[in-house]
Amino acid sequence: MNEPFVAPRRFARLVLKVNVFLLLGLAMVGAFMALVAYKQGWFVQQTPVHFVTANALGVNRGMPVKLFGFTIGTVSDMQLSPEGVDVTLSIISDYVPRIPQGSEARFAREGGIVGASVIEIQPGPAGPAVRAGERIAFRPQRGISEIVDDFRRQAVPAFNEVKNLFTQLKGPGDDVAGTLAGLRQEVQRLPETRAALQKLLVTAERTTEQLGQQSIATMRATQRTAEAAERAMAVVPPLAEKVGSAVESIDGAASQLRRTAEEAQGTLQRARPLIERGELAARDAGEVLGAAKRVWPLSDSFRETADRDLPIDSFEARGKSLRP
């Protein structure tokens, strides 16, 4: 009844087949591990460099280390030390020559305030490269509160200046809008003022020229009178002496008149650029005020009453339904 067990034919050389299968499996696991090790940089020679920080908040193992934004290593180890936390950086040895002694490490974020955190190497002055295991300096990161403080330190004087400007603009009994309206009116009148000044200058120049011409004519007449007087002096010496002194004084007066005219002309010429500069300055002031009026924190204070008026346009007299 009991028949002897006969192994099926497909189980022939079973041990050999199992061993081959196991070997293949082992080879595949080994290849996978080699691939992982390659990807992890186990075959890349790395140089350890370290720094010590009093506060390692945000620094993690595996965090990239960057030089000019290019990854040159990772944070490989962190240990507590008497000074704080000793952070070891594994730098790819090929890039170590780019890190001279005196370089600093600092905590940074790739996108400025937001973004992935990295350790950034700030290269020091040109010199020999850092050695394996050497300690480099660490510059701690500025916190938001420090940034805000810094901004406040810079902004407060500016705001104080604006406040002073407001105080000066306001004056006793006036409001800013009124002062500005006055200023604006004055600025708008500048072209007329300039035209009037130019007219005045032209008139003054013409007057000066006429004055000069008249003084020259007066001098010539005086000279002629003097010559006549000299001729008369030969006839009446005492009278001639008197006339001579009178002529001298007239001559002196004429010279003085001429000098005065020249000075007036010079003054007018010097005044012209001054007036032009004044006009430019007023226009600049108008532009600065205009720009300041558009800035958010100030815009509410500069709301002008004139802005509420819609334009009165004679075109509307043409007829019905002329909506713009």
Provide the binding-site residues for another protein, judged by CB under 8 A: 188, 191-192, 307-324
Q: CB-wise, 16 or 312, nearer to another protein?
A: 312
- Tokens encoding 296: 């958010």
CB of 257 to another protein, least distance (A): 39
Q: CB-wise, 43 or 315, nearer to another protein?
A: 315
Contacts of 128 (CB under 8 A, 6+ apart): 100, 101
CB of 307 to another protein, least distance (A): 7
Q: CB-wise, 83 or 192, nearer to another protein?
A: 192
Contacts of 136 (CB under 8 A, 6+ apart): 49, 50, 51, 99, 103, 104, 105, 121, 130
- Tokens encoding 238: 């005492």
Q: DSSP E strands: which ranges in 226-297?
A: none
Q: CB-wise, 13 or 320, nearer to another protein?
A: 320
CB of 276 to another protein, least distance (A): 20
The DSSP secondary-structure symbol of 306 reads G
CB of 196 to another protein, least distance (A): 12
- Tokens encoding 8: 């099926």
Q: CB-wise, 145 or 321, nearer to another protein?
A: 321
Instruction: Report residue 230 CA to chain centroid gap.
Output: 77
Q: CA–CA separation, 20 vs 293, rounded Å?
A: 86
Q: CB-wise, 45 or 321, nearer to another protein?
A: 321
DSSP 245-261: HHHHHHHHHHHHHHHHH
Radius of gyration of the chain (CA): 48
CB of 304 to another protein, least distance (A): 12
CB of 315 to another protein, least distance (A): 5
Instruction: Report residue 195 CA to chain centroid gap.
Output: 37
